A and B are shown apart, each in its own frame.
Chain A
C-alpha cells in the first residue's frame, strides 16, 4: 500500500501527454477499426453490386417463388419438380432435421453404452470400447460416410436378389425396404390413448414424488409409467379391432415395389454420423461418470442405499450435470455435420441450397439462408444450455 496504489483515475495526469492515456488510445484504436471495417464493407458491397450487375443476377429473395425444376430423392413432404425453390429449401430443412434427430437418438444410445463400457471392470468390454472410441474419433466423418456409401451399401446385391431379413425387410443396393404400416379406421383412438397415457404418467410421477417427500415410501414409478404408455394404447388398439395392415415390399424384376424404402444416401449418412458422434459421446459420458467423486458412492453405501439405487439417485444425477452441456454441443455438431449429405447426394438443406445456387446464381441469398438456419439452431441450443445450467447449478450455501 505504501508504494502507492491510487484508486483515483488521475494516474494519467502525471505523464502529461494525452497520447499515453489508455482511454484515449482505446477510443483511437476502436475508431480506426471502425473506419477500416466501413471502408472494407463499402468496397465489398461496391464490388458485389458491380459483379451482380455484370452477371445479370437480380438480388433479393424473389427467386424463392419460381419453379424449382429439379427433383429430390427423398422427401417427407410432397414435392415435385413443379414446386418452388422455397418449398425445396423447406424439404431440405426437414431432411436435415430427420437425419439429425435419428442420428442423435442412435448416437446417444451407442455413446452411452460404449462410455459405460469403457468404465467396465470387464477387461474385454473395456478394451473393445476403447478400440471403438480410438478408431472412430480419429477418422474424418466424410470418410466414414463414403465407407458406408461406396464401400458397403453400393456392393450389396441388386434389388431383384435383395437380402431378405425377417419381418419382410429387404436390403439391397437401392436401400432398405421395410413394410409400411397402414392405419385404418379407429387407429386415431390409439393415438388419443397414447396422449392420455402420457398425461396420466406425468400426474402419477408427481403424485409419487409428493408421497415420497411426505411419507418416505417409494412407488414403482418406472413400471407404472411404462405400463401406462405401452399398455393403454395397445388395449385401445385391440379394442378398436386392430385396424392395421402392412404394405409389404415385394421383390420385382428390377426393383422392389411397395413398402417404404430408405435410400442408401440416408442410410450411409445416418450410420456414419451416429458412429462418429457416438465415439465423442462415449468420452463425455466416461468423463461425466468419473467426475463424480468416489466419496459420493461411499457415502451412499454408508447410508445403506443399495448399489442400484445409488447409481440411479446419487451418481447419475450428478454425472448428468457434467454430461449434458458437452452433450448438447455434440448434438449441435452432429446437426452441422449432417451438411456432409451433399457429398452423397442426400437432399439436406445444404445440398438443396447448393443445387439452387448452381441453377440461379443467387449465392448471397442462399448462403444467407444457410447462415440463418444454422445460426438459429445453435442459438436455440445455447439458450437451452443456459437454461439447463441455471436449473442444474449447484445451490451452495
Chain B
C-alpha cells in the first residue's frame, strides 16, 4: 500500500505561515490595548492629546527651563522682576532647593552641630535596612538596636546639653529630621498602644472595654488638628504651675495618641478575623491570657492586617506635616518658612519648594506601600 502514491496527498506538513501582521507583536498589543473599539480609540486619542498638551511643558518647566545654579533670587526672576531671566520666563528654581538643602534636612539646627542628627540618621538607616530584608538573621538583636539603642542615642545626641555637647533646643530642630523623628516615634508608640487598645476593646472587663472604646471613638471622630491644638493649648492647663512640656514633645504625644486609635481599629479587625477555635485551643492548652495573645492570636492577627497597619503608618507620616500649623518646622514647615526669605523670594520659588517637599513625602510613602506589598507576598508564601 505504501508504494501507492496519490499525487494529491501531501507527504510533508506545509510550513506554518506567519500570523497576519496586525495580529502579532506590537500591532496586536496596540490593537488590543489602545484601539479595541471605536470608543477606545476616541479615549486613547483624547488622552494622548492631553498628555501632549501637559507633559512637554511640565518637562520644560521642571528641567529644561529650570534654573539649576545661582546664589540668589536673580536667577529665578525675569528682568522686570529684578532678575536676569528673559521676559516671559518661567521654570523651576532648583537653585533655591540647592541653597536651602541643609535647612530642609536639618531645620535651623546649628551648622557645626549637624553631624549629630546626621549620625543618628546614618545609624537609623544602618539599623533599619537589615531589619527590612527578611533573609538577614538576628532580627531580635536588630530590633533591640533599632527600637532601644537608637532612641537612647538619639535622646542623648539630638538635644545634647551633656557629655560636653552644646544644648540645642527643640524649636531649632526642623526639616526632614523632625518629620522622620515624629513618624518614627509615632510608629513605635502607636503600634503597641494600638494593640493594647484593641485588646482592651475586646476585653471581658466592662470598665476597660468602655474606656478603650470611648478613647478610640473620640479620637477617631475628630480631626488631627484639634488633637494637636488640644496637646498644645490644653495640656499646659492640665499641668501644675511651673511644669512645662516641650512643644516637640507635645506634638509627639498628640500624633502618637491619634495614630494609636486608628491602629487599634486595624488590629481589632485582625483579632476578629481569627477563628474562635484558635482562642479556645490556646485556652485548652492552659495558656494564660498574655501567653495566648502573644503566642497564638496576635502573630496571626497582625499578619492578616499588615496592609492596614502600613496604611496607618503612611497616614501618620503624611499627618506629621500638620505640626507646621501649630508652629513647628517640619519639612513642609521649613520649606514654607523659606518662601519669605527675601534673598530667594520669586514667583516660582513656592511652587519649586512645594514640588520638592511633595516629592520627598511621596518617595517615603510610596516606598512604604511598596514594601508592604512585598511583605504581604513573603508572608503569604510562608503560610502555604
**A residues adjacent to B (C-beta < 8 A):** 5, 26, 29-30, 33-34, 37, 44, 47-48, 50-52, 54, 120-125, 128, 134-135, 137-144, 146-147, 150-152, 154-155, 336-337, 339-340, 342-343, 350, 354, 357, 363-364, 367, 370-371, 374-375, 377-379
Q: Are B218 and A122 in contact (CB under 8 A)?
A: no
Bound-state CA distance A159–B325 (Å) is: 29
**B residues adjacent to A (C-beta < 8 A):** 32-34, 36, 40, 43-44, 47-48, 51, 204-208, 211, 217-218, 220-226, 229-230, 233-234, 236-241, 284, 314, 318-319, 321-322, 324-325, 332, 336, 339, 347-348, 350-351, 354-355, 357-358, 361-362, 365-366, 369
Bound-state CA distance A144–B222 (Å) is: 21
15 new A-B contacts, CB < 8 A, other than A47-B237, A122-B34, are A30-B205, A47-B239, A138-B314, A139-B318, A140-B321, A140-B361, A143-B332, A143-B354, A150-B350, A151-B351, A155-B350, A336-B222, A350-B226, A357-B233, A374-B222
With A34-B207, A151-B350, A339-B223: A364-B332 Cβ-Cβ less than 8 Å: no
With A33-B208, A336-B222: A138-B369 Cβ-Cβ less than 8 Å: yes
Which residues of chain A are near B34, meaning CB under 8 Å?
122-124
Which residues of chain B are near A33, meaning CB under 8 Å?
207-208, 211
Q: Are A125 and B47 in contact (CB under 8 A)?
A: yes
With A339-B225, A364-B234, A375-B218: A138-B366 Cβ-Cβ less than 8 Å: yes
Q: Are B369 and A337 in contact (CB under 8 A)?
A: no
Bound-state CA distance A134–B358 (Å) is: 13
In the complex formed, the residue of A with least CB distance to B203 is A26
Which residues of chain B are near A151, meaning CB under 8 Å?
350-351, 354-355
Q: Are B223 and A374 in contact (CB under 8 A)?
A: yes
Name the residue in A5, A54, A142 with the highest tally of chain B Cβ atoms < 10 Å from its Cβ.
A142
Q: Are A378 and B322 in contact (CB under 8 A)?
A: no
Q: Are A135 and B362 in contact (CB under 8 A)?
A: yes
Which residues of chain A are near B211, meaning CB under 8 Å?
33, 37
Which residues of chain B are near A144, meaning CB under 8 Å?
358
Q: Are A146 and B332 in contact (CB under 8 A)?
A: yes
**Distance from B72 Cβ to chain A, minimum over Cβ atoms (Å):** 19
Which residues of chain B are near A124, meaning CB under 8 Å?
33-34, 43-44, 47-48
Q: Are A337 and B223 in contact (CB under 8 A)?
A: yes
Q: Are B322 and A142 in contact (CB under 8 A)?
A: yes
Q: Are A54 and B241 in contact (CB under 8 A)?
A: yes
Q: Considering the complex of A and B, which 9 residue pairs feature the smallest CB-CB distances, nearest first?
A: A138-B365, A123-B33, A378-B221, A151-B351, A339-B223, A140-B318, A336-B223, A30-B207, A140-B321
Which residues of chain B are near A29, meaning CB under 8 Å?
205, 208
Q: Are A371 and B350 in contact (CB under 8 A)?
A: no
In the complex formed, the residue of B with least CB distance to A363 is B233
**Distance from A343 Cβ to chain B, minimum over Cβ atoms (Å):** 5
Which residues of chain B are near A128, meaning CB under 8 Å?
47, 51
Which residues of chain B are near A357, meaning CB under 8 Å?
229, 233
Q: Are B222 and A139 in contact (CB under 8 A)?
A: no
**Distance from A14 Cβ to chain B, minimum over Cβ atoms (Å):** 13
Q: Are A44 and B223 in contact (CB under 8 A)?
A: no
Q: Are A147 and B226 in contact (CB under 8 A)?
A: no
Q: Are B350 and A143 in contact (CB under 8 A)?
A: no
Q: Are A26 and B204 in contact (CB under 8 A)?
A: yes
Q: Are B358 and A343 in contact (CB under 8 A)?
A: no
**Distance from A141 Cβ to chain B, minimum over Cβ atoms (Å):** 7
Which residues of chain B are near A337, meaning CB under 8 Å?
223
Which residues of chain B are near A123, meaning CB under 8 Å?
33-34
Which residues of chain A are near B205, meaning CB under 8 Å?
26, 29-30
Q: Are B240 and A147 in contact (CB under 8 A)?
A: no
In the complex formed, the residue of B with least CB distance to A51 is B237
Q: Are B226 and A367 in contact (CB under 8 A)?
A: yes
With A122-B44, A124-B47, A337-B223: A139-B358 Cβ-Cβ less than 8 Å: yes
**Distance from A180 Cβ to chain B, minimum over Cβ atoms (Å):** 31
Jot down 5 A-B pairs with beta carbons below 8 A, ordered by A.
A51-B236, A120-B43, A125-B43, A125-B47, A371-B226
Selected from B240, B321, B325, the residue in CB contact (under 8 A) with A50 is B240
Q: Are A142 and B237 in contact (CB under 8 A)?
A: no
Bound-state CA distance A141–B314 (Å) is: 12
Q: Are B240 and A47 in contact (CB under 8 A)?
A: yes
Q: Are A371 and B218 in contact (CB under 8 A)?
A: yes
With A34-B207, A143-B358: A343-B325 Cβ-Cβ less than 8 Å: yes
Selected from A26, A52, A143, the residue in CB contact (under 8 A) with B237 is A52
Selected from A122, A339, A342, the residue in CB contact (under 8 A) with B33 is A122
**Distance from B363 Cβ to chain A, minimum over Cβ atoms (Å):** 8
Which residues of chain A are near B362, meaning CB under 8 Å?
135, 138-139
Q: Are A155 and B347 in contact (CB under 8 A)?
A: yes
Q: Are B226 and A122 in contact (CB under 8 A)?
A: no
**Distance from A308 Cβ to chain B, minimum over Cβ atoms (Å):** 12
Bound-state CA distance A122–B38 (Å) is: 11
Which residues of chain A are near B336, meaning CB under 8 Å?
146, 150
Which residues of chain A are near B208, meaning CB under 8 Å?
29-30, 33
Which residues of chain B are near A30, meaning CB under 8 Å?
205-208
In the complex formed, the residue of B with least CB distance to A117 is B43
Bound-state CA distance A178–B229 (Å) is: 36
**Distance from B330 Cβ to chain A, minimum over Cβ atoms (Å):** 10
**Distance from B49 Cβ to chain A, minimum over Cβ atoms (Å):** 11
Q: Are B225 and A340 in contact (CB under 8 A)?
A: yes
Which residues of chain B are near A54, meaning CB under 8 Å?
241
Which residues of chain A are near B222, meaning CB under 8 Å?
336, 370-371, 374-375
**Distance from A221 Cβ to chain B, minimum over Cβ atoms (Å):** 25
Q: Are B40 and A48 in contact (CB under 8 A)?
A: no
Q: Are B321 and A143 in contact (CB under 8 A)?
A: yes
With A52-B237, A122-B36: A342-B354 Cβ-Cβ less than 8 Å: no
